[in-house]
Amino acid sequence: MSSRLVCISDYEQHAKSVLQKSIYDYYKSGANDQETLADNIAAFSRWKLYPRMLRNIAEIDLSTSVLGQKVSMPICVGATAMQCMAHVDGELATVRERGLRDEVRTKKGGLRKPIRKNCPENISTQ
């Protein structure tokens, strides 16, 4: 495996090599018969990205608004349970990393550490 993680299978192979089997299995699986997991994989496999060649990329603006909030690019981080199994700071690590940027995040219950109490003041937890 290359040292660069490029596609989903690269990330899955890397995770499998560094996580305990039970933790990897938790993240890799879905609920019940795993139908939603299979549907998501099938849906994303239908998306195609076509590169635009020979275009001026000097001034690209990816900003938009999501639910009335201005964001620098349309990338949102969704709620994921039990992040503490993969990183000591769990959800806090995600909020710290993503919170320094202006993406929209979703709220979720079941956090291992209260985000408002543990995040720097310049990070929005909304």
pLDDT value at residue 125: 47
pLDDT value at residue 119: 55
DSSP string of the chain, one letter each residue: --SS--SHHHHHHHHHHHS-HHHHHHHH--STT-HHHHHHHHHHHT----PPPS---TT----EEETTEEESSS--B---TTGGGTSTTTHHHHHHHHHTTT--B---S--SS-HHHHS-TTS---
pLDDT tens for each residue of 4-32? 899 888 999 999 999 999 999 988 888 88
pLDDT value at residue 68: 87
Q: In the chain, where are the structural domains located?
A: 75-104
pLDDT tens for each residue of 91-123? 778 777 766 555 555 555 555 555 555 555 444
Closest CA to 93 of 118, 121, 74: 118
Name the percent of the chain lying above pLDDT 90.
21
